[in-house]
């Protein structure tokens, strides 16, 4: 069965969207309940659909995959009773590869039955050579069940000659290019893997006798698990009741290139990345931004919610008072109302409202995390001016987004990105604001903890959406005609 889904945010298509969150538990009674809670905490990473697979020693594997929010599906007792056992993994998705508004068959985790037993996998990221792999696998007899790039991993595992599932997974993942954090399970093992560059996050936690794998630490907190450590780039952990946590490094070691945008926007501010809270990093981005792009004004206001920590940082550093000049309606969800033409025209007003009493007659600095198409920025500026602001200055907590992401983030085509077609000055004119400044790439690196800024010869992070320097060549896209940035 398939059905069309409306976009996750019909009034907010002007943000990059993280595509997936993954979570797994071993060694806890009714593990699927913990997975449901973990996925709920990771819902910001994907709102289109979710799925859970569990394993019970007597009842075997069971799975449930549903469209919609975790809270609307996986809180129902009757449904959770169909997912028994001490081992479970889960996935929330938007959608990257696989069609948008996709069928239930594209919803993960995916399951495969092998001669040595079953295995389920949940993948966060994007396989950049998936088209080539899919062609090869189909020619050799594989029958695909979905349009998802992640299914390639199951078919590659089926073709491997290794003796056990973790070894088959290693084999499969050596063929895969791009970004992947994977949580997988066999009948008795929970497996976690990060790609050699560690583009997407994955952390290990512990709860009593049980072990937990999660995209972010905020999802450990919700179940009361302790954060143990990040899974290292290129590391595979195999966790079982018998052997505890075993660590392997099956890939050639490389300089890690974690996604710098996780710091800016994707991860929740209460998560910990690289030993520091994401909130603290975003605050520091605001501090750097204030140093790089000062301006005389009366108020610093965030574009809620994602601009808030950087706006507070900007205010602290500049000494200009912070104020909630824009209020977000927290209850503006997908299910609220059908986005008819008339409703669409109300646009951003359905979600954001200006605090007129604060704004009137003021010179306002608006801090946002990014500018993608620029459509929302323009509307927000109009709302602020309508409310009587004297000046509007945009300060952006990331460099201009001029290149699409091919590593598990939904980005418009390059020509739709404002920064791909306009200079900073042209963007200021286009948005018709008094000033517009983005944090520099070096400033962003300093804010995330690299005191010396970006190492141009060997960048410490993936920053391809800003720099156009892709750490893994997006071979499927190049085949379709995508042009890489010319060497300087
Ligand atoms: S291209 Fe941008 S969003 Fe994508 S992984 Fe790299 S830094 Fe993150």
All domains of the chain in start order, with CATH:
17-257 (3.60.20.10), 282-456 (3.40.50.2020)
Q: What's residue 219's pLDDT?
A: 98
Per the CB < 8 A criterion, the answer to whether 126 and 96 are in contact is: yes
Q: What DSSP element (H or E) covers 32? A: helix 31-41
pLDDT grade for 77, boundaries at 50, 70 and 90: confident
Determine the Cα angle at 452 with ends 447 and 458, to 5°: 100
User: Which protein residue has the closest C-alpha to ligand 1 atom 4?
Assistant: 405
Asked if pLDDT for residue 4 goes beyond 50, the answer is no
Q: For strands 258-259 and 461-462, give the pairing.
A: parallel
Q: What DSSP element (H or E) covers 121? A: strand 117-127
How far apart CA 427 and CA 118 sit, in angstroms, is 53
For 270, left (φ over 0), alpha (ψ -120 to 50), or beta? alpha
Share of the chain above pLDDT 90, in %: 83
User: Which protein residue has the closest C-alpha to ligand 1 atom 8?
Assistant: 259
Q: What's residue 1's pLDDT?
A: 29
193 or 379, which is more confident? Answer: 193
Token code pair at residue 290: 């204030």
Q: Which atom of ligand 1 is nearest to the CA of 16?
A: 3
Report the pocket of ligand 1 as residue ranges, CB < 6 Å: 199, 259-261, 405, 407, 409, 462-465
Residue 461: φ, ψ to 5°: -130, 165
Mean pLDDT of 395-405: 97
Q: How far is the CA of 362 from the centre of ligand 1 (A)?
A: 36
Tens-place pLDDT, residues 319-372: 999 999 999 887 665 444 455 656 555 667 778 889 999 999 999 999 999 999
Per the CB < 8 A criterion, the answer to whether 240 and 166 are in contact is: no
Per the CB < 8 A criterion, the answer to whether 105 and 41 are in contact is: no
Alpha helices in 293-374 (DSSP H): 308-318, 341-346, 356-359
Q: How far is the CA of 174 from the centre of ligand 1 (A)?
A: 21
Mean pLDDT for all residues in the chain: 91
Residues annotated as catalytic are: 20
Token code pair at residue 240: 């079982």
Check the CA dihedral 130-133-139-141 and report its sign. negative
What three-state secondary structure class fits 382? helix
Q: What's residue 100's pLDDT?
A: 53
Share of the chain above pLDDT 70, in %: 91
Q: What's residue 345's pLDDT?
A: 56
How far apart CA 359 and CA 392 sit, in angstroms, is 10
Buried b (16+ CB within 10 A) or exposed e, 172-185: bbebbbbbbbbbbb
Q: What's residue 335's pLDDT?
A: 41
pLDDT grade for 15, boundaries at 50, 70 and 90: confident
Strand partners, 441: none
């Amino acid at each position: 069965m398939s059905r069309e889904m409306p976009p996750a945010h019909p009034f907010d298509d002007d943000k990059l969207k993280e595509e997936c969150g993954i979570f797994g538990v071993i060694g806890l009674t009714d593990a699927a309940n913990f997975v449901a809670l973990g996925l709920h905490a990771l819902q910001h990473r994907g709102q289109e659909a979710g799925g859970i697979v569990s394993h019970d020693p007597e009842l075997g594997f069971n799975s449930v995959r549903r469209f919609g929010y975790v809270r609307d599906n996986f809180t129902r007792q009757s449904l959770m009773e169909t997912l028994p056992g001490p081992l479970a993994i889960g996935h929330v998705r938007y959608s990257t590869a696989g069609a948008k508004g996709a069928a239930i068959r594209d919803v993960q985790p995916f399951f495969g039955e092998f001669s040595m037993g079953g295995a389920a996998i949940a993948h966060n990221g994007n396989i950049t050579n998936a088209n080539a792999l899919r062609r090869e696998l189909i020619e050799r007899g594989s029958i695909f069940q979905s349009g998802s790039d992640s299914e390639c991993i199951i078919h590659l595992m089926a073709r491997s000659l290794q003796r056990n599932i973790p070894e088959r997974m290693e084999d499969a993942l050596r063929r895969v290019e791009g970004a992947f954090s994977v949580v997988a399970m066999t009948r008795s093992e929970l497996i976690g893997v990060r790609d050699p560059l560690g583009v997407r996050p994955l952390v290990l936690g512990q709860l009593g006798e049980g072990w937990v794998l999660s995209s972010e630490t905020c999802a450990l907190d919700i179940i009361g698990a302790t954060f143990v450590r990040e899974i290292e780039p290129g590391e595979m952990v195999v966790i079982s009741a018998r052997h505890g946590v075993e660590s392997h490094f099956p890939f050639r070691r490389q300089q890690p290139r974690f996604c710098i945008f996780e710091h800016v926007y994707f991860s929740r501010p209460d998560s910990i990345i690289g030993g520091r809270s994401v909130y603290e990093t975003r605050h520091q981005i605001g501090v750097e931004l204030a140093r790089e792009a000062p301006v005389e004004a009366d108020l610093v206001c965030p574009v809620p919610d994602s601009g808030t920590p950087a706006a507070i940082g900007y205010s602290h550093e500049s000494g200009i008072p912070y104020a909630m000049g824009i209020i977000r309606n927290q209850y503006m969800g997908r299910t609220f109302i059908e986005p008819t033409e008339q409703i669409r025209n109300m646009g951003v007003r359905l979600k954001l409202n200006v605090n007129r009493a604060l704004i009137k007659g003021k010179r306002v600095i608006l801090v946002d995390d990014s500018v993608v198409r620029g459509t929302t920025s323009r509307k927000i500026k109009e709302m602020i001016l309508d409310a009587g602001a004297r000046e509007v200055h945009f300060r952006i907590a990331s460099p201009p987004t001029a290149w699409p992401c091919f590593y598990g983030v939904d980005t418009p085509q390059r020509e739709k990105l404002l920064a791909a077609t306009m200079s900073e000055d042209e963007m200021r004119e286009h948005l018709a604001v008094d000033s517009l400044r983005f944090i520099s790439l070096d400033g962003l690196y300093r804010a995330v903890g690299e005191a010396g800024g970006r190492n141009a010869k060997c960048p410490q992070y993936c920053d391809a959406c800003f720099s156009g320097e892709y750490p893994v060549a997006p071979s499927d896209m190049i085949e379709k005609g995508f042009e890489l940035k010319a060497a300087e």
